[in-house]
Copies of this chain bind each other. A is one copy, B any other.
Amino acid sequence: MPAGTRTILTLFAAAALLAARARQLGVPFDGTPGPMNAITDVAGLEVGHTTLISGDGHQAVRTGVTAVWPRGKQSSTPVFGGWFSLNGNGEMTGTTWLEESGLLDGPVLITNTHSVGVVRDSYIKWRLAWSRKAGLNIEDEWSLPVVAETWDGFLNDINGFHVQDRDVFAAVEAAKGGPVAEGNVGGGTGMVCYGFKGGIGTSSRKAGPYTVGVLVQCNCGRRAQLRIAGVPVGQEITGNEPYALNFRHSGEDYGSIIIVVATDAPLLPHQMKRLARRASLGLARTGSSSGNGSGDIFIAFSTANPDAGRTSGLATLSMLPNDEMNKLFEATAQATEEAIVNAMVGAETMTGFEGHTVIALPHDRLQELLKKYNRLAP
């Protein structure tokens, strides 16, 4: 693809760019969000997007890369983490070492299914350059990056392999704190969720002195399944479902959802797995039954314990007891539910590959339905 026909929108997540959010429309949610109601409410965490939108028809590029840096892009200090696969029709590289070591080193990267490889190797290149710049000996280094994906081939020319090294570098370096752009951005650019336009969504919860933040790349579910705040929205808003008849899985729950759960609570790796599993509960409340075609893979990490990644001597750690985790469990389920709805509320109607169109969740209809079921928040 010649550079001239290509638009890279690296979104420096700014409040000005942010669209409406579910809560502003009157969707009622349980729990108390952090100041930005975003994963970046976890202090130090940074998010960067590279959004690739260009061309039409067979040349439609609607994809990107999202990078979530647990401790920010300046840090090479690992975090404790864990993961869970609710339905593993997807890829998340790096999980074997995450499971073994309990450590996540570097960002969580999210892209489309057929660009996982390039994102993985590109990140290694970026990391090597970073290490060289830092004067580190890289000769006996190796990297096992975490790269996840959902499939965007309905809107994006996924088999054109449009993500390149520079797009990965851009997402990684664009990462910053503050509000996070949602909807058709980053890895979520071309995604479809419950038959509406999906993408990136985020939310957070206060849990005692701690914060739980969630970011989703939401591409799952079929229309009829969608429930918002208990209201059967997907059964009420019919028509305009994507996936034409030439798609084998038309009308099926395929797609996928990647869920990233972050917290500043001092949890150990086995406790992070507990948190990752709770993302399932938030997803379930939006209606998914985690279809066979869905890669529903969740990762959770804690930014506490700066000593987690120590490589010699003894690390000194803090641990929140299991008995104190209930608030975090609820926070994770709640923030996941809201992040998914935020992804749909934040996304806009998109036309892409071969002229396929996916409509956005209509805000006015959503509000009517909340009213009909006596669930519109004041």
The residues of A with any CB-CB pair to B shorter than 8 Å are 85-97, 99-103, 113-122, 124-125, 128, 137-144, 147, 151, 153-154, 158-159, 161, 227, 229-232, 246-249, 252-253, 266, 268-271, 274, 277-278, 280-285, 288-293, 295, 297, 307-308, 310-326, 329-330, 332-333, 354, 372-375
Give the nearest-CB partner of A150 in chain B.
B142
Instruction: From the candidates B87, B230, B270, name the one contacting A227 in the complex (CB within 8 A).
Output: B230
- Residues of chain B within 8 A of A158, CB atoms compared: 142
| The one of B229, B290, B295 that contacts A278, using a Cβ cutoff of 8 Å | B290
Query: A326's contact among B93, B139, B253, B324, by CB below 8 Å, is which?
Result: B253
Q: Would you give the shortest CB distance from A341 to chain B, in whole angstroms?
A: 14
User: Binding site of A, secondary structure by majority: helix, strand, loop or mixed?
Assistant: mixed
Known contacts A246-B139, A284-B285, A289-B333; A96 and B100 CB within 8 A of each other: no
Does the CB pair B88–A268 fall under 8 Å? no
Find out whether the CB atom of A121 lies under 8 angstroms from the CB atom of B115: yes
CA distance A17 to B316 in the complex (A): 43
Once A113-B142, A114-B142 are accepted as A-B contacts, the answer to whether A281 and B291 lie under 8 Å apart by CB is no
A97/B101 in contact, CB under 8 A: no
Nearest chain B residue, comparing its CB with the CB of A316: B318
| Shortest Cβ-Cβ A-B pairs, 4 listed | A230-B230, A117-B121, A88-B100, A117-B117
